[in-house]
C-alpha cells in the first residue's frame, strides 16, 4: 500500500521515515516534495570504460541542461526509511517541462537513508535552479521480512556516478 500524506507525517514523527529537513507544507496527498541540491555533476569525457563527470555549482542565474545527455544532481533533503520502500520521481510541474528525474530507476530500497542522486535528462533545453522544488517521493508498505543487501550507493550524499 502507498502511504497517504497524513501517514507520511506520522511516520516521520515516530522515526519510521527520515526526511531532513522535514516541512509540513511539502506534504502532498500521497507523497512528499523534495528540492534540488546546489551542485550538478556534468559529463566531461568518456575514458574508454566509463563517463567521467565534473562537479559544477548551479549559478544564481540557473544552469542550462542540454537535451540528449544525462546530468547528475542530488536531493537537498536526506530521505530514507527502515520500514517502507520508496519511489522517487519528479513533480508533474517539472515533467510538464520535459525533464526526466530518474531515467528508469525510481526504486529506493528499504533501510537506505541519504541524499539521493538524481538522473536528469532534458527533453528540451531547460534551466535548473539550486533549491527548486523539483520532485516527489512516495512510501510503500512491504510484505515480508526486511533483509538489507549490501548497498553500493546508499552511503553517498553527493551526486554520485555509477560505480563499475
Residues that bind other proteins (CB under 8 A): 1-8, 10, 28-31, 62, 64, 67-68, 87, 89-102, 121, 123-129, 132-133, 135-136, 138, 141
Of 23 and 152, nearer to other proteins (C-beta) is 23
Nearest distance, CB of residue 140 and other proteins, angstroms: 9
158 annotated active-site: no
Tell me whether residue 125 or residue 148 sits nearer to other proteins (CB atom).
125
Q: Tell me which of 49, 56, 113, 119 is the catalytic residue.
A: 119
- 59 vs 155, which CB is nearer to other proteins? 59
State in angstroms the smallest separation of the CB of 57 from other proteins: 18
d(CA 11, CA 9): 5
Question: Cβ(104)–Cβ(45) under 8 Å?
Answer: no
C-alpha separations of 70 from 34, 42, 119, 120, 121 in Å: 20, 8, 7, 6, 5
Q: Which is nearer to other proteins, 45 or 96 (CB)?
A: 96
CB of 83 to other proteins, least distance (A): 12
Residue length of the chain: 164
Q: Can you tell me the distance from the alpha carbon of 156 to that of 74, in angstroms, rounded to the nearest whole number?
A: 10
Q: How far apart are CA 93 and CA 90, in angstroms?
A: 8
CB of 49 to other proteins, least distance (A): 26
Which set of grid coordinates corresponds to residue 133? 522544488
Q: Does residue 5 sit in helix, strand or coil?
A: helix
The DSSP H or E segment spanning 72 is strand 70-74
Instruction: Find, among 112, 108, 110, 89, the residue nearest to 99 by Cα.
Output: 89
- Catalytically active residues, by annotation: 119
Amino acid at each position: 500500500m502507498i502511504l497517504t500524506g497524513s501517514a507520511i507525517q506520522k511516520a516521520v514523527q515516530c522515526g519510521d521515515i527520515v526526511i531532513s529537513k522535514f516541512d509540513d507544507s511539502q506534504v502532498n496527498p500521497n507523497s512528499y516534495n523534495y528540492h534540488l541540491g546546489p551542485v550538478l555533476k556534468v559529463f566531461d569525457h568518456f575514458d574508454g570504460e566509463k563517463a567521467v563527470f565534473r562537479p559544477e555549482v548551479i549559478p544564481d542565474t540557473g544552469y542550462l541542461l542540454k537535451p540528449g545527455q544525462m546530468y547528475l544532481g542530488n536531493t537537498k533533503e536526506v530521505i530514507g526509511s527502515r520500514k517502507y520502500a520508496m519511489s522517487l520521481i519528479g513533480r508533474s510541474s517539472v515533467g510538464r517541462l520535459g525533464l526526466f528525474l530518474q531515467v528508469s530507476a525510481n526504486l529506493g530500497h528499504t533501510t537506505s537513508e541519504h541524499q539521493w542522486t538524481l538522473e536528469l535528462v532534458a527533453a528540451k533545453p531547460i534551466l535548473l535552479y539550486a533549491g527548486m522544488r523539483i520532485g516527489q517521493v512516495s512510501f510503500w508498505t512491504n510484505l515480508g521480512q526486511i533483509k538489507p543487501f549490501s548497498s553500493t550507493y546508499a552511503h553517498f550524499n553527493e551526486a554520485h556516478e555509477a560505480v563499475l
